[in-house]
Amino acid sequence: MSADAAAPAPWIAAQRTQLLAQRGHAWLLHGPSGLGQFALALELVRAWLCESPAGDGAACGHCASCHAIDVHTHADLCVLMPETQMLALGWPLPEKAQAEIEDKKRKASREIRVEASPQAWALIPKAMARGDVSALSALEPAQAVDALQKLCHDLLAQRVGAQPRYFDAADLPRPPGLGPLTRWSRALIQEARTADHPFNAGLMLESLVAQARQTLNSRH
């Protein structure tokens, strides 16, 4: 992509220049669709990550960082959109999602999948070992049970010398014994039955995490 092709529309550039003059650790750009929020967000990101920004703080359009963003491969940029939109706009999906869709195991999702956030997903196993409820707080109870069942599956797999399927091996804590893992697996099947209609979602999450923590910290 040439620098000209990547040049933002004049109204986006004006907004970008205005926002770059301000400071903030996070920006929330919202409004009716079609105003160009994504283009503006991308312009801000290009400027923040640029190796030699212009005087007004705008991205140079020529450095390695600008180029990596233009070809959608910047290691420090995480774009989170529904998979259908990622594919339409030519952004790469996580490897596993790409493979599942290519192998026709499932269709691209029209919603943002919880697993699509590799920041959030990878942290779940070790957070559970610490008993950290916040790692599941963005999930509905049924999704939380599903995530824990996947974690339990992977630890059981590791325990018997197989490869984990849902998490990276590096993100998993040391697997506990087969006994605790099997009991946990059975308990999660029970939890899954009521997860769609929990008596109290907050209490359910807390109890799920307490159970996960106990299992992950048992050594026999």
Binding residues vs Zn ion (CB under 5 A): 50, 59-60, 63, 66
Name which of 59 and 116 has its Cβ closer to Zn ion.
59
Sign of CA dihedral 30, 8, 108, 167: negative
CA distance 54 to 60: 6
CB 175 within 8 A of CB 162: no
Q: What's the min distance (Å) between Cβ of 121 and Zn ion?
A: 30
DSSP string, 176-205: --HHHHHHHHHHHHHHHHHTTS-S-HHHHH
193-198 CB contacts, 8 Å cutoff, 24+ apart: 195/141, 195/142, 195/144, 195/145, 196/141, 196/142, 198/141
Query: Whole-number minimum distance, CB 45 to Zn ion, in Å?
Result: 11
**CB of 4 vs Zn ion, minimal distance in Å:** 15
Q: Give the DSSP letter of residue 92.
A: P
- CB of 70 vs Zn ion, minimal distance in Å: 10
Instruction: Tell the smallest beta-carbon distance from residue 21 to Zn ion (Å).
Output: 18
Nearer to Zn ion, 57 or 118 (CB): 57
User: Looking at beta carbons only, is 50 or 145 nearer to Zn ion?
Assistant: 50
In this structure, the number of other CB atoms found within 10 A of the CB of residue 127 comes to 19
Taking the mean position of all CA atoms in its chain, how far away is CA 61?
28
Q: Which is nearer to Zn ion, 59 or 124 (CB)?
A: 59
Query: Considering the complex, what minimum distance in angstroms separates the CB of residue 22 from Zn ion?
Result: 20
Measured CA to CA, the distance from residue 127 to residue 8 in angstroms comes to 41
* Shorter beta-carbon distance to Zn ion: residue 49 or 192: 49
By beta-carbon proximity to Zn ion, the closer residue of 2 and 163 is 2
Side chain identity, residue 13: A
What CA–CA distance (Å, rounded) separates 108 from 91?
13
Query: What DSSP character marks residue 135?
Result: G
